[in-house]
């Protein structure tokens, strides 16, 4: 005769389960009674009584075990899994049947023998076994629960490989459920490739985005019920993950699912289902990240799948992604993570460089003023600066290493649209007068101190737009306009990009404005200076409107003026024809510097500075004569001396007056100018 005491230990009826595995094994032992009783001649009422007694005892032990901290290494108890998914009665019994073969493969053979065909565990067999215990009401409920099982993510229901049974009569459980039962929580390879698990740090320790965290906390506290999507937007490196980890209480487990990687995997639907089961059984918070702007429709489907199991979901996307909220069956709370304010950025630099050997000239406040980059970008730049310092046998990280790292990592979009100008010249190479140098120093200071003026001193509220910096260099060709732009960029520590004006202008209406917009959009967060050389081609005086072409041209100029004024960065323009500029444009420029041709003293200074110290020079080299005799621009002087050096290299290898005379003669001939021998004075004999 069937006796429940042979399967369920009565003497342990008041004993708390030690762990999840012990509970699961105990319930599977109770299930053995069904397998033993199936097809036996025992009285059915007696069998029902024995089965009920065994279940009653186990249910009591599970009840008194509630609240106990089971070590996960010994698995999650079967009743905890069932409770998480609302499995009871027949559906709980099906869970036991499906889990049992994972404990002992003998059960597969038993199922096959009882059902008479593969794959063994079928819905027909489950119904037949459960009927041994079920009362009339439970039998009615069993029919309803068959549909529940088919839709429950825990179960995998499929058609038998061979038999004439009904569709969906064979079933098993998810691999993640089996792992949970065994305590094997190391993600299998396929899952591991699309998820990232971390532990929350708690919002009180956040050093950036404190206001956003506080607002989110207040919002969630006031939220009564319903499904909620927290949409966290920001540019790359803004710290979306870090923000989410700070948004939960300390110690909360968080599961991040990579949307992009998931889409690349075969059987992505099954992987998502398994990831959600893992997340739910481990009571992890769920975050979707790494989204693709081009596939919003599929993203909406994925979010719906997640909301079928979760009420709260976090989504981390780029700053440009917009969701069709009308297609989402949830409330959406939006968080935008822009570039932190100056004080927070200074903290980011300080934390990133903690413990490193940094130079005394490195100022966290100045770096925060100068570079509008995200916390993640700061960490990457510090790592790169450290690596560069070590590779150059240096132990100290100075401003030069940091600047190089920032410029290497930022302004990437501009590389596709503009020409990056190498910053070859320093302040010492620029030969200009005192007044011009004062204006350049003022411009550099304006960039370095704009956070103090705008935010600490409150000018942001007084001047809400047009706080960018713009300068116009004008004067004859070759007077150092491009070199001045290079020096400014190097002094500030920003990349310099020359805008090809001819590539901006398009014959089709509206296309020029689009091209201009792309340039400024790419520069907005790129820590770069835009350099419009020969700017008069675009900024010349607007014409009287006499036809549609004039109107179109004026619209383009107006749009460009607007973008320069709105640009929160540095714009440098250069022109040879200042008088051609529109007055409305001149009013919007912060500074204008006239670079004239150098006088005799500055020409001598240029001639002296452009010849390297390593260059062999004749003792009678008469640079004063050439400075006095020829009105050359700075660029002409450089070209002439460089050419003279090659003439000297082909001759005696020592730079002499004769080499410079020949180089000047070649230069004027190239320009189509005739120069007489008399112009060379006492060195006229060297022409021949």
Crossing angle (nearest 10°) for helices 123-130 and 20-37? 80
Quickly list H helices, 410-544. 412-415, 434-448, 450-451, 459-462, 481-492, 501-504, 511-524, 536-539
Residue 453 has pLDDT above 80, yes or no: no
Residues whose CB falls within 8 Å of the CB of residue 190, separated by 6 or more in sequence, listed in order: 265, 267, 271
CATH number of this structure's domain 189-337, picked from the four choices 3.40.50.2300, 3.40.50.200, 3.40.50.300, 3.40.640.10: 3.40.50.300
HEC per residue, 145-194: HHHHHHHCCCEEEECCCCCCCCCCCEEEECHHHHHHHHCCCCCCHHHHCC
Query: pLDDT tens across 598-630, in order?
Result: 888 888 988 998 898 899 999 999 999 999 989
pLDDT of residue 548: 45
580 exposure class (CB count in 10 Å sphere: 0-12, 13-18, 19+): middle
Domain residue limits, the chain: 4-182, 189-337, 342-409, 427-594, 600-687
Residue 37 host element (H or E): helix 20-37
Look up residue 665 and give its two tokens: 């003669």
d(CA 50, CA 549): 95
Query: pLDDT tens across 373-387, in order?
Result: 888 888 889 999 998
Q: How confident is the model at residue 29 (pLDDT cuts 50, 70, 90)?
A: very high
Q: Taking residues 39-67, report their average pLDDT.
A: 90
Residue 125 has pLDDT above 50, yes or no: yes
Q: How confident is the model at residue 459 (pLDDT cuts 50, 70, 90)?
A: low
Residue 149 has pLDDT above 90, yes or no: no
Residue with tokens 């041994």: 132
Give DSSP secondary structure letters for 509-523: TTHHHHHHHHHHHHH
d(CA 543, CA 534): 19
d(CA 625, CA 272): 81
Query: pLDDT tens across 651-679, in order?
Result: 888 999 999 999 998 888 888 887 888 88
Residues whose CB falls within 8 Å of the CB of residue 508, separated by 6 or more in sequence, listed in order: none
Q: Which residue has the higher pLDDT, 430 or 570?
A: 570
Averaged pLDDT of the chain:
84
Residues whose CB falls within 8 Å of the CB of residue 674, separated by 6 or more in sequence, listed in order: 668
d(CA 86, CA 422): 66
pLDDT > 90 in the chain, percent: 30
CATH number of this structure's domain 600-687, picked from the four choices 1.20.1510.10, 1.10.8.60, 3.30.750.24, 1.20.1250.20: 1.10.8.60
pTM of the model: 0.71
Query: pLDDT tens across 349-374, in order?
Result: 998 898 888 888 888 888 887 788 88
Angstrom CA distances, 630 to 534, 606, 661, 683, stand at: 26, 13, 11, 13
d(CA 661, CA 630): 11
Homologous superfamily (CATH) of 427-594 is: P-loop containing nucleotide triphosphate hydrolases (3.40.50.300)
Residues whose CB falls within 8 Å of the CB of residue 506, separated by 6 or more in sequence, listed in order: 512, 515
Residue 86 has pLDDT above 80, yes or no: yes
Q: Which CATH architecture has domain 342-409?
A: Orthogonal Bundle (1.10)
Residue 686 has pLDDT above 60, yes or no: yes
Q: Which residue has the higher pLDDT, 565 or 258?
A: 258
For residue 213, give the nearest of 245, 242, 247, 258 by alpha carbon. Answer: 247
d(CA 45, CA 55): 15
d(CA 58, CA 53): 9
Q: How confident is the model at residue 289 (pLDDT cuts 50, 70, 90)?
A: very high
Give DSSP secondary structure letters for 347-398: HHHHHHTTTS-B-TT--HHHHHHH----HHHHHHHHHHHHHHHHHTT---B-
pLDDT of residue 545: 44
Judge if 342-409 and 427-594 fold alike in CATH terms: no
């Amino acid at each position: 005769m069937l006796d429940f005491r042979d399967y369920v230990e009565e003497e342990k009826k008041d004993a708390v389960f030690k762990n999840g595995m012990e509970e699961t094994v105990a319930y599977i032992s109770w299930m053995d009674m069904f397998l033993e009783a199936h097809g036996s001649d025992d009285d059915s009422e007696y069998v029902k009584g024995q089965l009920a007694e065994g279940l009653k005892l186990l249910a009591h032990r599970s009840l008194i075990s509630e609240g106990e901290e089971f070590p996960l290494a010994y698995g999650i108890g079967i009743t905890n899994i069932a409770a998480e998914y609302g499995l009871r009665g027949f559906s709980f019994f099906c869970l036991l049947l499906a889990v049992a073969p994972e404990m002992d493969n003998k059960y597969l053979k038993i199922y096959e023998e009882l059902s008479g065909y593969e794959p063994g565990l079928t819905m027909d067999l489950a119904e037949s076994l459960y009927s041994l215990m079920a009362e009339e009401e439970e039998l009615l409920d069993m029919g309803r629960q068959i549909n529940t099982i088919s839709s429950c993510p825990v179960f995998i229901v499929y058609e038998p490989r061979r038999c004439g049974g009904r569709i969906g009569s064979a079933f098993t459980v998810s691999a993640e459920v089996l792992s949970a039962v065994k305590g094997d929580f190391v993600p299998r390879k396929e899952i591991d490739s699309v998820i990232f698990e971390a532990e929350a740090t708690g919002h009180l320790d956040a050093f950036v985005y404190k206001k956003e965290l506080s607002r989110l906390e207040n919002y969630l506290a006031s939220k009564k019920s319903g499904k909620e999507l927290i949409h966290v937007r920001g540019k790359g490196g803004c710290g979306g993950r870090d923000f989410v980890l700070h948004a939960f209480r300390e110690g909360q487990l968080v599961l991040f699912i990579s949307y992009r990687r998931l889409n690349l995997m075969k059987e992505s639907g099954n992987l998502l289902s398994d990831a959600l089961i893992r997340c739910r059984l481990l009571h992890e918070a769920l975050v979707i990240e790494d989204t693709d702007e081009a596939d919003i429709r599929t993203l909406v489907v994925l979010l719906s799948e997640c909301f079928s199991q979760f009420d709260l979901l976090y989504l981390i996307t780029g700053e440009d992604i917009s969701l069709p909220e009308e297609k989402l069956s949830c409330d959406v709370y939006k968080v935008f993570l822009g570039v932190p304010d100056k004080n927070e950025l200074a903290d980011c630099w300080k934390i990133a460089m903690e413990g490193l050997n940094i130079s005394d000239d490195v100022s966290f406040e100045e770096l925060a003023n100068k570079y509008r980059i995200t916390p993640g970008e700061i960490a990457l730049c510090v790592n790169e600066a450290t690596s560069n310092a070590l590779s150059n046998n240096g132990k100290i990280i100075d401003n030069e290493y940091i600047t190089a790292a920032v410029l290497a990592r930022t302004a990437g979009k501009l590389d596709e649209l503009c020409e990056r100008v190498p910053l070859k010249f320093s302040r010492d190479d620029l030969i200009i007068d005192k007044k011009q140098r004062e204006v350049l120093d003022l411009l550099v200071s304006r960039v370095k101190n704009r956070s103090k003026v705008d935010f600490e001193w409150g000018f942001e509220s007084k001047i809400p737009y047009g706080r960018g910096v713009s300068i116009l260099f004008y004067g004859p060709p070759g007077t150092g306009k491009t070199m001045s732009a290079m020096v400014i960029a190097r002094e500030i520590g920003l990349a310099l990009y020359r805008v090809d004006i001819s590539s901006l202008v398009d014959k089709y209406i509206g296309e020029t404005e689009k091209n201009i917009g792309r340039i400024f959009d790419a520069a907005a967060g790129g820590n770069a200076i835009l350099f419009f050389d020969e700017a008069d081609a675009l900024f010349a005086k607007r014409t009287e409107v006499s036809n549609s072409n004039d109107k179109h041209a004026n619209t383009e100029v107006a749009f460009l003026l607007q973008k320069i004024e709105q640009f929160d960065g540095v714009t440098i323009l250069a022109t040879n024809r200042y008088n051609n500029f529109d007055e409305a444009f001149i009013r919007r420029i912060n500074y204008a510097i006239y670079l004239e041709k150098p006088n005799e003293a500055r020409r001598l200074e240029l001639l002296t500075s452009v010849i390297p110290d390593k260059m062999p020079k004749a003792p009678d080299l008469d640079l004063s004569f050439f400075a006095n005799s020829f009105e050359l621009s700075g660029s002409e002087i450089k070209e002439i001396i460089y050419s003279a050096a090659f003439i000297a290299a082909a001759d005696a290898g020592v730079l002499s007056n004769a080499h410079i005379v020949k180089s000047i003669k070649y230069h004027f001939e190239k320009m189509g100018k005739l120069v007489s021998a008399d112009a060379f004075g006492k060195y006229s004999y060297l022409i021949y």
